[in-house]
């Protein structure tokens, strides 16, 4: 079972890396600064990126986290869950599929449709790029900040049960599988690594 999980995880990582490499080669960099054509500028894209990071998930999670007491134990975990919601390959797929459903830029019957076609691709690609950088740098930045401030790692007194999306998903290292419920029992979910000897693991 562990070998199968390792193979599936390896293939997933391999395809994800290739996917992001391909996305990097097709980024419409020149369309991120077109004030006279689409009205898009780098400054506006930065503002949009920060607004999306702040309001896309966090408010909804804060309003509903009390309905999920087994998964989210407090507002800090709700903030963590709402903050780390990256925009990635799925968004690129949808915008490319949408582009095939609309006329090419300049060939639509209305100005509104032309403006939509011209703006949607650079906006979505920018949000993907912004999310990758924003979320990718968050963990090392927060870790460095916590170490500088001397913030001790959080150790949860009780474990939490988390459902697996697929049976072949690799569980975190600080967890053990509950095969009867297709879930894992996770210890210390939202913390920096601590000594494994301190965790009540079941191997």
3-state secondary structure 61-111: HHHHHHHCCCCCCCHHHHHHHHHCCCCCHHHHHHHHHHHHHCCCCCCCCCH
* Per-residue pLDDT band at 156 (split at 50, 70, 90): low
Residue 181: half-sphere exposure toward Cβ, Cα within 13 Å:
9
**H or E segment and range at residue 163:** strand 160-163
Give the chain's mean pLDDT: 79
**Whole-number CA gyration radius for the chain:** 21
Q: pLDDT at position 33, please?
A: 92
Higher pLDDT, 199 or 181: 181
Q: In the predicted model, is pLDDT for residue 43 greater than 70?
A: yes
DSSP 8-state class, residue 49: H
């Amino acid at each position: 079972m562990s070998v199968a999980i390792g193979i599936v995880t390896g293939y997933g990582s391999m395809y994800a890396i290739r996917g992001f490499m391909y996305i990097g080669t097709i980024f419409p960099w020149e369309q991120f600064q077109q004030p006279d054509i689409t009205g898009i500028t780098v400054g506006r894209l930065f503002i949009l990126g920060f607004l999306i990071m702040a309001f896309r998930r966090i408010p909804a999670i804060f309003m509903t986290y009390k309905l999920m007491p087994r998964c989210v134990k407090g507002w800090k975990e709700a903030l963590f869950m709402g903050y780390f919601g990256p925009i990635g390959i799925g968004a690129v797929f949808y915008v490319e599929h949408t582009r095939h459903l609309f006329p090419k830029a300049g060939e639509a019957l209305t100005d509104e449709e032309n403006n939509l076609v011209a703006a949607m691709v650079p906006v979505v690609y920018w949000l993907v790029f912004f999310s990758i950088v924003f979320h990718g740098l968050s963990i090392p930045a927060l870790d460095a900040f916590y170490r500088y401030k001397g913030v001790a790692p959080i150790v949860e007194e009780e474990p939490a049960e988390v459902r697996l999306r697929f049976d072949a998903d690799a569980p975190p290292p600080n967890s053990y599988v509950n095969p009867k419920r297709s879930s894992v029992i996770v210890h210390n979910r939202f913390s920096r690594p601590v000594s494994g000897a301190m965790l009540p693991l079941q191997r």
